[in-house]
């Protein structure tokens, strides 16, 4: 579902239609090969706009070599996360509650703490070894 027009644009947290397209990322681990990312201008949530069902998600996680994957994308992730941290600092006080859903290897949570955010939670369905 590479077409951004087909992606879900309403915020998955607050339901607002006031969202901004951020970027696409390539995904080789499931049938959805292009993942579209959006940010809600109402609540600040960043989310994946594609419809990915639980079966597809299960296949993607079961075929992923997590350690290798996160090593390969670390430099790019650090760059993206530094940008996201700058936006967060401008949007919310550092004592605001933040939850990272789909935290992966937890790098963003670590960077949030290092940047001075104090109330950070994370949720990930996959155990990363």
Structure confidence at residue 117 (pLDDT):
95
Domain that includes residue 21, residue range: 1-63
Structure confidence at residue 6 (pLDDT):
43
How far CA 60 is from CA of 29, 49, 92, 99, in Å, comes to 5, 17, 33, 23
Would you place residue 118 in the very low, low, confident or very high pLDDT band (cuts 50, 70, 90)?
very high
Tokens, residue 13? 């947290």
Does 13 score more than 90 pLDDT? no
Asked which of 41, 63, 85 is the last residue of a domain, the reply is 63
Rounded to whole angstroms, how far apart are CA atoms 36 and 22?
A: 8
Same domain, 34 and 92: no
| CATH code assigned at 20 | 2.20.25
């Amino acid at each position: 579902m590479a077409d951004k027009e087909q992606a879900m644009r309403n915020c998955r947290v607050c339901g607002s239609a006031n969202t901004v397209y951020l970027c696409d990322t390539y995904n080789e681990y499931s049938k959805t090969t292009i993942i579209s990312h959006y940010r809600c201008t109402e609540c600040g949530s960043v989310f994946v706009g594609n419809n990915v069902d639980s079966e597809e998600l299960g296949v993607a996680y079961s075929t992923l070599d997590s350690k290798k994957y996160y090593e390969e994308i670390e430099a790019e992730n650090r760059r993206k996360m530094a940008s996201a941290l700058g936006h967060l600092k401008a949007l919310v006080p550092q004592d605001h509650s933040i939850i990272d859903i789909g935290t992966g290897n937890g790098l963003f949570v670590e960077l949030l703490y290092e940047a001075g955010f104090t109330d950070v939670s994370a949720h990930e369905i996959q155990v990363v070894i």
